[in-house]
């Protein structure tokens, strides 16, 4: 489980797709190696060694600037973000658990699993479509990193610590 938000030297997340978070143990190791600076800690979470007690880091910044590759991977979460959690057949918006990925050209007819052939679909529409050809509302496309990051910023998601919101450009109420 990742507990520490890792920011670049410019106080921006190294990545939001996926969010740049690391395990608290790794954060403490990097802190002692002098590779990160801790700027926020969990006030109610302290770890102890034989001679030391430390608050667990919540937010840390790197001492070097990292150029992160801004390539969007084909994942279920990114698909839903691209389509804004909206079924591309009935136009209703759903929760993550009520959505599926539908192949516009079904696999049985030679379709592939990629950005240009898959859309978000509710379970009912996906079942009704089965292996038939049906045109979605929006033609599937490969999104760029910045469009998907903007969609991510406005989508509902929970953060481990409310302090993260200021570094992610979100209001505390949005969490």
15-49 pLDDT per residue, tens: 887 788 999 999 999 999 999 999 999 988 989 98
Whether 80 and 66 share a structural domain: no
Q: What is the DSSP string of 88-103?
A: TTT--B--GGGEEEEE
Asked if residue 96 and residue 43 are part of one domain, the reply reads no
Are 14 and 48 members of one domain?
Answer: yes
Q: Angle 50-56-59 (CA atoms, 0-180°, nearest 5)?
A: 150
Indicate whether 92 and 138 sit together in one domain. Answer: yes
Residue 144: DSSP 8-state = P
Share the mean pLDDT of the chain: 89
Domain total in the chain = 2
Examine the domain organization and report whether 64 and 81 are in the same domain: no
Q: Could you tell me if 83 and 133 lie in one domain?
A: yes
Length of the chain: 175
Reported as a single tens digit per residue, the pLDDT across 134-144 is 999 999 999 99
Same domain, yes or no: 86 and 41 = no
pLDDT, average across residues 121-141: 94
**166 and 130 inside one domain:** no
Domain of residue 167, residue span: 4-70+156-174
Please report the pLDDT score of residue 4 as a whole number: 93
Together in a domain, 94 and 118:
yes
Q: Residue 133 pLDDT > 90, yes or no?
A: yes
Q: What is the pLDDT of residues 40-86, one digit of tens each?
A: 999 889 899 899 999 899 999 999 998 877 778 899 989 999 999 99
Residue 151 lies in a domain: no
Residue 45 lies in a domain: yes
Higher pLDDT, 17 or 122: 122
Its pTM stands at: 0.71
Q: How far apart are CA 126 and CA 149, in angstroms?
A: 27
Same domain for 81 and 65: no
Q: Considering the domain boundaries, does residue 148 fall inside one?
A: no
Nearby residues of 164 by Cβ (< 8 Å), 6 or more positions away = 5, 58, 59
């Amino acid at each position: 489980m990742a507990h520490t938000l890792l920011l670049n030297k410019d106080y921006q997340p190294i990545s939001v797709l996926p969010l740049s978070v690391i395990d608290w143990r790794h954060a403490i190791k990097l802190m002692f190696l002098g590779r990160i600076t801790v700027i926020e800690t969990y006030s109610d979470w302290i770890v102890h060694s034989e001679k030391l007690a430390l608050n667990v880091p919540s937010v840390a910044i790197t001492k070097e600037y990292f150029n992160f590759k801004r390539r969007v991977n084909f994942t279920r979460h990114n698909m839903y973000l691209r389509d804004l959690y909206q079924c591309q057949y009935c136009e209703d918006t759903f929760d993550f658990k009520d959505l599926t990925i539908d192949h516009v050209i079904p696999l049985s007819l030679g379709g592939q699993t990629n950005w240009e052939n898959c859309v978000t679909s509710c379970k009912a529409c996906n079942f009704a479509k089965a292996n038939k050809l049906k045109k979605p509302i929006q033609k599937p496309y490969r999104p760029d990193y910045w469009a998907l990051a903007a969609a991510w910023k406005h989508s509902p998601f929970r953060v481990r610590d409310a302090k993260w919101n200021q570094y992610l450009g979100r209001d505390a109420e949005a969490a």
